[in-house]
């Protein structure tokens, strides 16, 4: 996958059984591709990598990543998880915690470039940000998640170590009020920060177009929409549009940093530079809050109702004022900042009872049978 990412300089190529060292746009790129889990190789990968270096990690231990052997998950990742409708994103966020922790042990932070989970592996690519402040900022992104066992609503626990009287209050659903006993589980620790850097992904797409790598382009386009939480395919269609956008200033953050003179050519920050500039950038980006996780449209379909087609439904959600995109993690998943209740109320509004199919009061083209 990384071979599509543009100017990789093979003259710096060194390789061992699990680790490959390359050069990416003048910065070191280290790719870990071990057999199974990568957790044992992360410390050495982060120990002596330069500021703004790129580390990519492939994990193929899908048994523990995809919630099949929970005891192995606990052993290797130290995370408590259960099988959820968003299990693939859960896996990516779990891997990122181990990556962020390995970085923090070396006084480094991470900025996630991309995190993908496909059938047989999870791939995460991060940029290394050297310094204790960056390490602290990354560590703050490690959170617990509350997951409702009834409706699968979920929310990251608020920051802070004070014990709260009723954690259920943080969960937007009211299953706890309407069902007897305990209704939610606490999952994690998980990475709660963003999973994508759209500038990096746009560069990947540029490189894929330049090198005529047709097979990877659909995935990268999906990732760009997902990273910006938009359904506007037009923003990524065609190399001309893409290059124009890049020229119009859609560039990855590292370039902005270099342009504003906070980093010299080797990627090290200059002395006398205002400390924490990168951190401020991270914080301002945090206000945009990339919506975490997704809801499966079939999982939440209304019984006895025909639901709208997925693309129509995305449009309805957008019109209702929510941020919406599809997700590569699940072909029927919807990434949105709407809560599950809001998601369901829009779905209910635009679903029609199944009998209207025969009375033909609705255009049958616009509806599909809801899966049970």
Place of tokens 């591709």: 33
Among 95, 148, 297, 338, binds Zn ion (CB under 5 A): 148
**Dist CA 31 CA 21 (whole Å):** 6
Handedness of CA 166, 169, 173, 175 (dihedral sign): positive
Which residues, at least 6 apart from 2, have a Cβ–Cβ distance to it below 8 Å?
8, 22, 24, 29, 31, 56, 125
Q: Give the nearest distance from C-beta 84 to Zn ion in angstroms.
A: 12
> Is residue 170 part of the contact set for Zn ion (CB under 5 A)?
no
> Is residue 151 part of the contact set for Zn ion (CB under 5 A)?
yes
> Is residue 145 part of the contact set for Zn ion (CB under 5 A)?
no
**Dist CA 351 CA 313 (whole Å):** 10
Nearer to Zn ion by Cβ, of 89 and 153: the residue is 153
Q: Give the nearest distance from C-beta 151 to Zn ion in angstroms.
A: 3
Nearer to Zn ion by Cβ, of 13 and 150: the residue is 150
Nearer to Zn ion by Cβ, of 41 and 86: the residue is 86
> Is residue 153 part of the contact set for Zn ion (CB under 5 A)?
yes
**Dist CA 48 CA 144 (whole Å):** 30
> Is residue 173 part of the contact set for Zn ion (CB under 5 A)?
yes
What SS3 state is found at 42? Answer: helix
**Dist CA 25 CA 8 (whole Å):** 7
Q: Give the nearest distance from C-beta 96 to Zn ion in angstroms.
A: 26
CA distances from 216 to 71, 135, 158, 230, 248 (A): 35, 33, 37, 20, 24
Q: How many helices (H) and strands (E) does the chain have?
A: 14, 15
Structure token pair of residue 53: 């270096």
Question: In this structure, how many other beta carbons lie within 10 angstroms of the beta carbon of residue 141?
Answer: 23
> Is residue 91 part of the contact set for Zn ion (CB under 5 A)?
no
Among 167, 175, 185, 302, binds Zn ion (CB under 5 A): 175
Binding residues among 275-334 for Zn ion as defined by CB under 5 A: none
Q: Give the nearest distance from C-beta 85 to Zn ion in angstroms.
A: 13
Q: Give the nearest distance from C-beta 173 to Zn ion in angstroms.
A: 3
Q: Which stretch binds Zn ion (CB under 5 A): 13-21, 61-69, 102-110, 142-150?
A: 142-150
> Is residue 167 part of the contact set for Zn ion (CB under 5 A)?
no
> Is residue 55 part of the contact set for Zn ion (CB under 5 A)?
no
CA distances from 43 to 38, 75, 187 (A): 10, 17, 24
Structure token pair of residue 311: 């693309």
> Is residue 185 part of the contact set for Zn ion (CB under 5 A)?
no
Phi, psi of 129 (to 5 degrees): -115, 110
Q: Which stretch binds Zn ion (CB under 5 A): 36-44, 166-174, 202-210, 241-249?
A: 166-174
Q: Give the nearest distance from C-beta 10 to Zn ion in angstroms.
A: 52
Q: Which stretch binds Zn ion (CB under 5 A): 25-33, 167-175, 203-211, 286-294?
A: 167-175
| Positions that interact with Zn ion (CB under 5 A) | 148, 150-151, 153, 173, 175
């Amino acid at each position: 996958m990384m071979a599509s990412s543009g100017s990789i300089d093979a003259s710096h190529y060194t390789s061992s059984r699990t680790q490959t060292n390359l050069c990416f746009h003048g910065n070191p790129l280290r790719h870990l591709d071990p057999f199974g889990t990568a957790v044992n190789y992360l410390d050495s990968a982060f120990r002596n990598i330069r500021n703004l270096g790129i580390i990519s990690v492939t994990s193929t231990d899908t048994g523990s990543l995809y919630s099949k052997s929970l005891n192995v998950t606990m052993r290797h990742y130290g995370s408590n998880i259960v099988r959820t409708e968003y299990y693939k994103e859960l896996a990516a966020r779990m891997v990122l915690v181990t990556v962020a922790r390995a970085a923090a042990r070396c006084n480094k932070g991470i900025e996630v470039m991309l995190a993908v989970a496909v059938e047989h592996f999870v791939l995460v690519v991060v940029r290394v940000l050297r310094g204790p402040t960056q390490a602290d900022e990354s560590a703050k992104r490690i959170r617990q998640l509350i997951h409702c066992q009834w409706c699968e609503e979920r929310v990251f626990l608020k920051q802070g170590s004070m014990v709260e009287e009723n954690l259920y209050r943080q969960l937007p659903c009211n299953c706890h009020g309407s069902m007897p006993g305990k209704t939610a589980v606490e999952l994690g620790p998980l990475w709660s920060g963003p999973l994508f850097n759209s500038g990096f992904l746009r560069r990947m797409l540029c490189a894929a177009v330049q090198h005529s790598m047709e097979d990877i382009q659909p995935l990268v386009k999906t990732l760009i929409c997902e990273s910006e939480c938009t359904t506007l395919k037009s923003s990524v269609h065609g190399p001309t549009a893409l290059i124009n956008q890049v020229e119009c200033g859609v560039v990855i953050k590292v370039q902005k940093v270099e342009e504003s003179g906070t980093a010299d050519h080797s990627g090290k920050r200059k002395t006398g530079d205002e400390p924490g500039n990168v951190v401020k950038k991270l914080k301002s980006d945090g206000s945009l809050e990339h919506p975490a996780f997704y809801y499966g449209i079939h999982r939440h379909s209304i019984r006895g109702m025909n639901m709208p087609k997925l693309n129509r439904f995305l449009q309805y959600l957008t019109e209702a004022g929510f941020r919406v995109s599809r997700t590569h993690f699940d072909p029927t998943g919807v990434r949105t900042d709407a809560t599950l209740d809001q998601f369901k109320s829009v779905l209910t509004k635009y679903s029609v009872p199944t009998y209207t199919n025969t009375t033909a009061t609705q255009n049958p083209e616009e509806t599909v049978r809801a899966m049970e």
